[in-house]
Structure 1
């Protein structure tokens, strides 16, 4: 078998990043952009037996980036906007913030998931609206950042 012989290897079609779906507590919600899908395993340096010339690292905790969702501002009030408004504008009283499950799916040409990420106990921590500029013809984009307890990769 030569280095360039690829017989027996399945054809790989690279998924496109513009074909995705976001589902929040079972309800599909349209977004222009999703970013911030990331996790980091932090580690601590441990010196082996007091010998400073040899060390190893042990995992200590996982951290997650904020999940950032962007979309054109809607004229109608939808369930996603109402949830964000309730979480962000209401006084911080126990039980007032209602976490939800957010699933982001990367789709293939048949609308089937190639990969998916489930964000457990997510809640909005930041909402912003893009700049207004009379010299440009752009859609008003709202951006929502979500924190979450854990992420499952499926």
Structure 2
């Protein structure tokens, strides 16, 4: 019999890292502390082709793979941040200089803080940078949301240590 003690990991332990370019040296712990990550949703578009003379069905053929933008949400940062500098370089600029693409890593962490799964987003660049609403009737933390476009995403499972089940 197989091991039946597997439990899906919780969704609240994760980390973000900039893995490429000059910004990676300046990244701080603040840039890894996010409240929410969404948009990891690659999907194959389907092309429907009717069978000539047969009205009972259509063939569904694979098309291109599409995805949403990656959305990163965190408490608003009021100090120096490599991620904020990167966002400002594209979203907050007049595009007088080239947009700097980066490789972003999103890792789901185990209880000891080690990655279980890492998603790698290639050629990522910020397309939207939103500050949450100011609302005097609520007692919420001010948030900022960074929306990032990318070309491809790959998923890498952590290497299982020798002898582990």
Normalising by the residue count of structure 2, what TM-score does the alignment of the two structures yield? Answer: 0.81
Q: Of the candidates 16, 22, 28, which is equivalent to residue 22 of structure 1?
A: 16
* RMSD over aligned Cα atoms: 1.7
Count of aligned residue pairs for this structure pair:
147
Deviation at 1:116, TM superposition (A): 1.6
Deviation at 1:8, TM superposition (A): 2.7
SS at match of 1:82: helix
Q: Output the CA distance in 1 between the equivalents of 2:17 and 2:141.
A: 23
User: Which has the larger displacement, 130-139 or 11-20?
Assistant: 130-139
SS at match of 1:16: coil
User: Are 2:102 and 1:100 aligned?
Assistant: yes
Deviation at 1:13, TM superposition (A): 2.2
Normalising by the residue count of structure 1, what TM-score does the alignment of the two structures yield? Answer: 0.87
User: Are 2:149 and 1:147 aligned?
Assistant: yes
Q: Of the candidates 42, 47, 59, which is equivalent to residue 44 of structure 1?
A: 47
Which whole-Å deviations, capped at 9, do the CAs of 1:86-122 have from their partners, x for residues lacking one?
11122235x6211111111111112222212111111
Greater C-alpha radius of gyration: 1
Which whole-Å deviations, capped at 9, do the CAs of 1:24-83 have from their partners, x for residues lacking one?
125462211111110110011112344333431111101111111011111212111010
SS at match of 1:52: coil
SS at match of 2:55: strand
1:57 equivalent in structure 2: 60
Structure with the bigger percentage of strand = 1
2:130 equivalent in structure 1: 128
1:4 equivalent in structure 2: none
